[in-house]
Amino acid sequence: MIIFFTNSKSIKAEKQNVFDFMVKSIQQQGHTVISLEKQKYEELLNIEKAMKKEKKISIHNQYIRKAIELSDAAIIEASRYSFKLGQEVQIALDKKVPVLLLSDKIDYSEKVQDPYFYSAIYANENDISKEINQFIKKVKSRHLNKRINVFLHNKHINYLDWYVKSNDGTNRSELIRDALEKVILQDHEYNKR
């Protein structure tokens, strides 16, 4: 899965180790993280095109929108909640991207009622790992369910069936999604649009 991660910049100095741990926890499960904690704007955007749009929408906001659009889920550290983080949560929810809001103080689930919204309070790294693991399991079981019809050649179906039998714990959809993820990550034109 691709997971968008962001946080409040106003507490970056005091919480950087927590942000780093969250990113590491996501990556240790084998997921790709899209975040300004790990990337620069130009790694996701075509900067020339983005600069032409900058009067209408800032490069930062273009990055956020693109990152959310590419993501299967979003994890946001919101110990110091801001209007900007709220806007980013709403963008994700509007696009039906599940969101986990983590905070060391407040459970936001009373304030936001949406089937794609999750919230948790953490006190330590164990709590963070547990909440991220539970969220990712929920996303996989509840939200990765967009269905399309695809016509495949018999050789493709035979390979999918063989692969699933040979690799316990996988299914055909997961194999197809993983293959598409690799193609998407390598397609620089698509990723710079």
Contact between 89 and 101 under an 8 Å Cβ cutoff? The reply is yes
pLDDT reported for residue 171: 79
pLDDT reported for residue 147: 67
Q: Tell me, yes or no, whether 110 and 171 share the same domain.
A: no
112, 127, 146 — which closes off a domain?
A: 146
Q: Tell me, yes or no, whether 34 and 103 share the same domain.
A: yes
Return the CATH number at 57: 3.40.50.450
pLDDT reported for residue 119: 96
Vertex 95 angle, CA 92 and 31, to 5°: 60
Q: Which residues contact 11 (CB under 8 A, 6 or more apart)?
A: 79, 80
Q: Are strands 73-77 and 2-7 parallel, antiparallel or unpaired?
A: parallel
Residue range 140-159: mean pLDDT, rounded: 82
Residue range 27-39: mean pLDDT, rounded: 93
Which residue range forms the structural domain that includes residue 142?
2-146
pLDDT reported for residue 146: 66
Q: Tell me, yes or no, whether 66 and 120 share the same domain.
A: yes
Q: Tell me, yes or no, whether 186 and 109 share the same domain.
A: no
142 versus 136: which is more confidently predicted? 136
Q: Which tens digit of pLDDT belongs to each residue from 163-176?
A: 888 887 677 887 88
pLDDT reported for residue 73: 96
Q: Tell me, yes or no, whether 139 and 152 share the same domain.
A: no
Q: Which amino acid is at 20?
A: D
Domain count, the chain: 2
Q: Which tens digit of pLDDT belongs to each residue from 64-96?
A: 999 999 999 999 999 987 899 999 999 999 999
d(CA 62, CA 17): 27
**pTM to 2 decimal places:** 0.75
Closest listed residue to residue 44, CA positions, set 19, 74, 24, 69:
69
Q: Tell me, yes or no, whether 142 and 158 share the same domain.
A: no
Residue 136: pLDDT band with limits 50, 70, 90: very high
Q: Tell me, yes or no, whether 93 and 34 share the same domain.
A: yes
pLDDT reported for residue 145: 64
Q: Tell me, yes or no, whether 67 and 92 share the same domain.
A: yes
Residue 131: pLDDT band with limits 50, 70, 90: very high
